[in-house]
Structure 1
Amino acid sequence: MSGPKLTESGNLEEFLKRASAEIERATLEVLPTKEPYKELYSLQKDYPLRGGKRFRSALLLLCAEWFGASYEDALPSAVALELFHNFALIHDDIEDSSLFRRGKPTLHQLHGIPLAINAGDSLFGMVYEILLTNRERFGDQKALGIISLFNQVFRATFEGQAYDIGWVANNHFPTREEYFEMIRRKTGIYSGKGPCQLGALIADAPSDIFEKVGDFGEALGIGFQIRDDLLNLEEDAGESKEYGKERGGDIREGKRTLITIHMLENLNSKDTEKLKTILLKPAEETLDDDVEWVIEKAHRLGSLRKTENLCEQFALDSRTRLNQFQGDFTTKIFLELIDFTILKRKK
């Protein structure tokens, strides 16, 4: 028999607190403690034990409850998404040569690249082990439908990542349109549309609702990523244990963001070449002065303000799409979620 809903308070903070605790508990329960513990299973636990927002898996639970499922039925799928997320973080940190994650050295900095890759791969393998338990819960057809949707989300994520790191590898500076296609796949689907539709699928929502909640989630996910781009350049990002990444890390990694795209559209030719030179440098050769120059220019050009305006546009788009659904106490949580993830988030 189902217990109280995670959403019963009608309050975002309380929902996220309860959802995160349930996801953490269930995630740690499925992670092995056997040998080889030092070389593998302790590494699997490292990032989950560092906390984090658990935003995507919580969004899956939120949508499942919204459309009538119990969070207990959706929890295994949320755990699978959380395992995938930690796999992706491990590999992403290696691909970006990142030094910090959630306020501590990245896994490959602590244990070396080979062991970190292997730990990430093992987490990805566990995703399907967890998802197959849905056969007992929902039957074969629905369980396979959930796996199929997970695969679509994974494929889009890998495609978006290919664009993102490929631009750096190939010295390419994308257009605004190319950038939006990248974040639509990498974040719009992975961080928004996918979790929302997985929750709807688990709850047996009608097909028209399935599509509409996907559109809402995609707008939410894109806004989430644009806010992330801004946070990376915030004054206190490097001080924030919660943010957990160095200030200006995107600049050191040569990331192409809406901020740098706006700068390249508006800088004079001399400064355009300087910005490109900085972004093309290897991370270890990028100086603190380079990072500060980019941030100062971004402020002077209004690139940060323009990007902030886009956050507001995607928040409005998300609210408009949310209005298609009949309101209840859960809708209030979604409205708070839009404001928090796209407009007010500081980590």
Structure 2
Amino acid sequence: MHSALSEWRPVVDTTIESLLPRTIDDAYLTEFFGEATYAYDPTALQGALSDPIWNLLDRGGKRWRAVLFLVFVEAFGDDPESYLEYAAIPEILHNGTIIVDDIEDGATHRRGDSALHHAFGTDIALNAGNAMYFLPLKIIARNPGDLRPELQLDAYEMLMDELNRTHLGQGMDIRWHNEKRIDIGESKYLEMCACKTGGLGRIVARLAAIVTDTRDVERAVAEYAEEMSIAFQIADDVLDVEHALEEGGDFGKGVGNDIREGKKTLMAIHAAEYATAEDVARLEEILWADENSDAEVVEAIEILQSAGSVKYARDVALDLSESSVARLDDLGLESEPKEELATFAEFVVGRET
């Protein structure tokens, strides 16, 4: 999967740039959004949309959702090159959610630099993030690949369905974040992940099935993508803790963020059930605090470790990864891209960055 990521990422970025250029002018605005009623202001839109969005995109990110879409297309026996603009949809959506999530979470950093609302202001960041939710609808309206009208409608309705579920997940996450007690069952946590992180994964799989008219396997590949995405989220949370441990308490920027932001991760939920009452109370106090010292982050991690919560979360991620791979059997997928899909499910729980 590493080779696929390396091969396709520049292509994905070029495609995104064709949909949202680094330099905005009247010709682009007219062609993409239609004639102005009076007059667009390209300079204002450059600073409000293109500059902040590309500032975030240029910081990194593996573009794995877009690449996964292209692998799915190939697994369905079609040519990925024919659907590049559709591949950009989940990547644009993902980065839009990042911008909005960072505002809602009060995050200070993203991908090694200041979170966009700190770099450009909350108003610009929020508008840019929201714009990235709607830009994919323009892609479907433009109808690259010349889809039949019923497939075009199905793609639109699927996006509406999944984006609504994404916001259900975010709503649960925000509500839990605003409560001091860790009073969440594991099934509710997993449903939050299924709605939020899983939603973008399902969009990848379902969109590929729709645009290639491979509808008979749409549900099965969506289930693969959902479980793989939940495994990714849990493994990502574990990775945040492990990186903090590797730093040895000398954290620097962006390390130990989940604890500093008070996130109710699967590790925290497990510890709330299995740690001592004293440790649970202390963990809740640290997660609830507006600010944490490095020593407090280390203390919280030690509570998670002593309760066996880090290992438990890692094991859950591995189980979900294995389950997702099993869902690819008997779907008639092309063998090489099917193997890439299986390898990717293993990659998301075994990566180090």
Give how far 1:290 is off.
1.4
Question: 1:134 Cα shift?
Answer: 1.4
State which of 81, 87, 91 in structure 1 corresponds to 2:100: 91
- Alignment correspondent of 2:32: none
Letter in 2 for 1:176: E
Measured in 2, the distance between the counterparts of 1:112 and 1:154 equals 25
| Percentage of matched positions with identical amino acids | 30
CA–CA distance in structure 2, aligned partners of residues 193 and 287 of structure 1 = 38
- Output aligned runs, 1:138-287, within 5 Å: 138-171=147-180, 173=182, 174-190=184-200, 192-207=201-216, 209-235=217-243, 246-282=254-290, 285-287=291-293
Residue 14 of structure 2 corresponds to 25
CA gap of 1:238–1:247, structure 2 versus 1, over 3 A, is farther
Give the Cα separation in 1 of the matches to 2:191 and 2:267: 16
Q: How far off is 1:51 after superposition?
A: 2.2
Alignment of 1:67-82 (within 5 A): 67-82=76-91
- Using the TM superposition, give the Cα deviation of residue 237 of structure 1 relative to its aligned residue in structure 2, in angstroms: 8.3
The counterpart of 2:328, out of the listed 322, 325, 334, is 322
- TM-score, normalised to structure 2, is 0.87
Tell me by how many angstroms 1:267 deviates.
1.6
Letter in 2 for 1:175: G
Cα drift, residue 205 of structure 1: 0.8
Structure 2 match to 1:305? 311
Tell me the amino acid that sits aligned with residue 15 of structure 1.
Answer: A
Deviation at 1:345, TM superposition (A): 1.1
Q: 1:31 and 1:54 mapped to 2: Cα distance?
A: 16
Structure 1 residues 125 and 194, CA, compared in 2 at 3 Å: closer, same or farther? closer
Give CA deviations for 1:252-304 in whole Å, capped at 9, x if unaligned.
Answer: 1111111001111112111211111111122xx22222111011122222211
- Mind listing any 5+ residue stretches in structure 1 that lack a counterpart? 1-11
Please state whether the residue corresponding to 1:72 is helix, strand or coil: helix
Aligned residues of 1:87 and 1:123 also touching (Cα < 8 A): yes
Deviations 1:112-170 (A, max 9, x none): 11111122223233222222111671132211211111112211111101100111124
CA distance in structure 1 between the partners assigned to 2:256 and 2:187 by the alignment: 24
Q: Is the 8 A contact 2:109 2:253 kept in 1?
A: yes
| SS of residue paired to 1:195 | helix
Amino acid at match of 2:81: E
Counterpart contact for 2:72–2:337, Cα < 8 Å: no
Q: In structure 2, how many angstroms separate the alpha carbons of the residues matched to 1:321 and 1:237?
A: 35
Write the distance in 1 (CA, Å) between the matches of 2:155 and 2:121: 34
* Contact 2:103-2:117 at 8 Å conserved across structures: yes
Give the 3 Å change call, closer, same or farther, for CA 139–233 of structure 1 in structure 2: same
**How many correspondences in the alignment?**
327
Asked if 2 retains the 8 angstrom alpha-carbon contact of 1:60 and 1:74, the reply is: no
The alpha-carbon deviation at position 319 of structure 1 amounts to: 2.1
- In the other structure, the counterpart of 1:4 is none
Number of the residue aligned with 2:27: none
In structure 2, how many angstroms separate the alpha carbons of the residues matched to 1:147 and 1:225?
Answer: 26
Superposed CA RMSD in Å reads 2.0
Structure 2 spans left out of the alignment, 5+ residues: 25-42
Provide the residue aligned with 1:45 in structure 2: 54
By how many angstroms is 1:238 displaced?
Answer: 8.5
Greater Cα offset, 230-239 or 18-27: 230-239
1:94 partner letter = I
Pairing partner for 1:338 from 322, 331, 345: 345
2:37 equivalent in structure 1: none
Contact 1:102 1:245 in 2 (8 A): no
Query: Matches of 1:335 and 1:245 in 2, distance apart?
Result: 34
Structure 1 length-normalised TM = 0.89
